[in-house]
Chain A
């Protein structure tokens, strides 16, 4: 039988060369998620080019205006362009959210793996530590640490990373506990594999997927958390535009104009949606049982 090569769309050919991302984009929902996330990243990088005005430029006569040709999304209580502020705000949002979630994910995963795999005393100690961290309301804990360290962006990142870390440690620990008992782990041990290689090459790939998904869904939460800290004056100082600052400013004037709240809310919701869709597609791609052949 003659082998006839099917015509391949040039776009598909490009996707073939991008290892994991290519497969994420191939899924329709993954593609939507990717486009949203990409749009935000473009905002982060090219903020001065995209924003029509400076984020602190005031136009008092037009304060609390609705959307118009001049101000696409309207203005806030001192007449600043909401669109420009949102665009610049993405820098703060991503600049704090990404590194803090990365910190939480890395440390949490490590602790979770160790606790779940070694068990016994080590497990007890780690679990008690995580539980006591979680026992504090996260906002109280953050405020306490920030009060000690002093408010700054770097400190906000560290604080958020620490408060979020127990979630990851728990998820990974629970997964590790169940994977540890699987036959294939014993089978690895029976061919003489070391604990380190069992943990890294057999347990980690099987437990990381839910944590990655959790991370994707946590990003928008962390952004709002940062907004909350900024609102309390422990995060970003005005006039630096943070989505949280925009939201809280808008909240103060909610009966005069709803636009600031609506737009900052929509932005947060879009971020959540984008990262969730992207995260779910990523999870499917990373699991060979769902996606077919490609794994980590």
Chain B
């Protein structure tokens, strides 16, 4: 087995004005030819620093103080800048997180790709421009750009996000590098696209035998894709081994906690495991084991001495518990307790059956259309005004005390629907009823009073808090607005305690909070007036797994305590199974399926639901070969110009002539509580019935 990259004792430091920070400490790992190595860890652990170090593109204040980066036997650190420049793009390529910004908008694709090939011409023998162009086109075809030869002259903005990421991959791989570094290449994409891209990466690896270093925080993707895992924590490699071993018998307490806090299908505990505390800042790293302050096993030695790498069951772990003179809780008991990995308790019994309960929200043929702004001159010259049908005739009911999840790819109209229910957006037609009261035509003044009962948790935790207000000012504001007299200090403490924050946070400004803390403040603020309806827009987006787990637990506890009704808007299907009672699937502004969570996951009736559910990456490597994934072709069309008939037909695998003409109605399947809008739902239903028995 040929070693492509060997990282030995790598030590990276950042020099800042105040201090020298250790970003990576004694990192060791190896990438073998043709392998995909996953580098996982929470944000701020130094994953991206490693990637920049391998490319030797650290920021000016970063320094590699020790160690070796052996690339096929040569130490990259010993090369001159000129020699290194030849390796970049030629031997080692990189793809980045955001495909929208990593292509240069002023050059067309051909220029960008051909230039990259020609830049490395000396090594590729002499190549003419047209040969280079041929090579670029064949690479684009390979990554799935349809009709690449006629599209190669297009500019980046003419491609969709998923296509751009494919182009990035093609650009990175066209020089046939030995190593590809992928830094979170799918975290800006929808699940369906994520599945497409990871599938593509795996196929390319199989064809080209490229080694890949895949940096991600998503354990699901690692399990789907990688052969080896390197778990990173606070600049240290805490665990390193073969994928099945690490996932089936994780050794390091951190790895275990990460796996347990992942809200996936497999993990249906009533509460998710959270890790106490948070990732330490590089400014004050603990002495000894970096994870000790958050570890349940920690003994005094962990706080004093740095652990050494130990080889257990042929994978490496950085933990005192595996040293010979360990006297704390035996590592074996800990290993055995990995049985806890199975569900500990059954999910709480379903709350009141939906039909017996009252409706909190009801929408009737709700439509929200946005018109393009063409201005006065545009009207004069008779420019056509485009229409975006963000929400296009949705009837949905949400019952008291339940959690309904709204899912769909971005652009499906789920956020607009949520905002319209709260009258943050005015509907074009149709009605919204809250507790039986119609609010579509209520005056602004009356709406303000109704807002007491309905609240929203916004997507970005920090930027949804007014930046010049302290936490206590933010928490008291709802009372001030609605002229409710409260004992300020007591109320602030009470609210902070309710969401699990200490009263020290009261005087802080939003930018001084971590993402998780800011999210909790947002929840506290929304709950201040004891609403009955809460709409949560991507409540865990941008949060690390362990932090997100805490938020989900909290939301569930609060629901049990106050009988809240939740509408969750999310594209993260993993959390749905944990928190939602029912799921509504949206596609291009229309509801395509709605039903109870369990049923929808196991027996989807709509082909879109089916594809969505199977696109979810599950953090269990043993499933990846058994599970048959349904890949959804292409991307969601523009809502400006929706397809005729069934809006899903261009991507549907059951498509027939009928679908292109007649839009299907939302119909209940065999009089159950599951409704789907598909001409062939009976057939799909029977098939999945057969599959499951």
Contacts and interface: CB of A to CB of B under 8 A. Distances in A.
Interface of A: 182-184, 186-194, 197, 202, 205-206, 288-289, 293, 295-296
B475 to A, nearest CB: 11
B474 to A, nearest CB: 9
Given A184-B465, A288-B467, A295-B468, A189 B477 contact: no
Contacts of B233: none
Contacts of A191: 451, 455, 477-478, 481, 525-526, 529
Contacts of B448: 192, 194
B342 interface: no
Interface in B546-597: none
Given A183-B460, A190-B422, A289 B467 contact: yes
A183 B481 contact: no
B452 interface: yes
B290 to A, nearest CB: 24
Given A191-B477, A288-B468, A186 B509 contact: no
Interface of B: 422, 424, 447-449, 451-452, 455-456, 458-460, 463-469, 477-478, 481-482, 507, 509, 511, 522, 525-526, 529
B468 A187 contact: no
A261 B172 CA distance: 63
A190 B424 contact: yes
Contacts of A193: 477, 481
A196 to B, nearest CB: 11
Contact of B467 (A190, A192, A197, A206): A206
Given A192-B448, A192-B449, A192-B451, A187 B464 contact: yes
Given A191-B478, A192-B448, A293-B507, 20 more contacts: A182-B463, A183-B458, A183-B459, A184-B463, A184-B465, A184-B467, A187-B456, A187-B466, A187-B522, A187-B525, A188-B466, A190-B422, A190-B451, A190-B456, A191-B529, A192-B481, A206-B467, A288-B467, A288-B511, A293-B509
A202 B455 CA distance: 19
A191 B447 CA distance: 10
A205 B469 CA distance: 10
A93 B477 CA distance: 44
B467 A183 contact: no
Contacts of A205: 468
A296 B507 contact: no
A184 B466 contact: yes
Contacts, number: 69
Nearest to A186: B424
B481 A288 contact: no
B435 to A, nearest CB: 17
Shortest Cβ-Cβ A-B pairs, 6 listed = A192-B451, A183-B464, A192-B448, A184-B466, A187-B464, A205-B468
A191 B529 CA distance: 9
A189 B466 contact: no
B206 to A, nearest CB: 43
Given A183-B464, A184-B465, A197-B481, A189 B424 contact: yes
Given A191-B455, A288-B468, A295-B509, A183 B463 contact: yes
Contacts of B509: 288-289, 293, 295
A188 B424 CA distance: 11
A192 B452 contact: yes
A190 B455 contact: yes
17 contacts: A183-B463, A184-B463, A184-B464, A187-B464, A187-B465, A187-B522, A187-B525, A191-B451, A191-B525, A192-B448, A192-B478, A192-B481, A194-B448, A194-B481, A202-B468, A293-B509, A295-B468
A293 B467 CA distance: 11
Contacts of A202: 466, 468-469
Contacts of B511: 288-289
A289 B448 CA distance: 31
Contacts of A182: 463
A288 B471 CA distance: 13
Contacts of A197: 481
Is the contact region of chain A dominated by helix, strand, or loop, or is it mixed? helix
Contacts of A187: 456, 458, 464-466, 522, 525
A188 B456 CA distance: 10
Nearest to A189: B424
Contacts of B467: 184, 206, 288-289
A9 B447 CA distance: 55
A295 B471 CA distance: 13
A285 B469 CA distance: 15
Query: Which of A187, A191, A295 has most B Cβ within 10 Å?
Result: A191
B134 to A, nearest CB: 46
A184 B455 CA distance: 13
Nearest to B526: A191
Contacts of A188: 466, 477
A191 B526 CA distance: 8
B440 to A, nearest CB: 17
A186 B458 contact: yes
A18 B546 CA distance: 44
Contacts of A289: 467, 509, 511
Contacts of A190: 422, 424, 451, 455-456
Contacts of B468: 202, 205-206, 288, 295-296
Contacts of A186: 424, 458, 464
Contacts of B469: 202, 295
Contacts of B451: 190-192
Contacts of B463: 182-184
Contacts of A189: 424
A62 B220 CA distance: 90
A95 B447 CA distance: 49
A190 B456 CA distance: 7
Nearest to B447: A192
A182 B458 CA distance: 11
B458 A192 contact: no
B454 to A, nearest CB: 8
Nearest to A184: B466
Nearest to A202: B466
A8 B55 CA distance: 49
A21 B511 CA distance: 23
Nearest to B525: A191
Contacts of B422: 190
Contacts of B447: 192
A187 B464 CA distance: 6
A289 B467 CA distance: 8
A197 B482 CA distance: 12
A191 B460 CA distance: 17
Contacts of B458: 183, 186-187
Contacts of B482: 192
Contacts of B478: 191-192
Nearest to B529: A191
A138 to B, nearest CB: 29
B75 to A, nearest CB: 42
Contacts of A206: 467-468
Nearest to A190: B456
A189 B456 CA distance: 10
Contacts of B466: 184, 187-188, 202
A289 B511 CA distance: 7
Nearest to B537: A183
A293 B472 CA distance: 13
B511 to A, nearest CB: 5
A187 B467 CA distance: 12
A212 B507 CA distance: 26
Contacts of A184: 463-467
A184 B461 CA distance: 10
A202 B460 CA distance: 18
Nearest to A187: B464
Contacts of B464: 183-184, 186-187
Contacts of B525: 187, 191
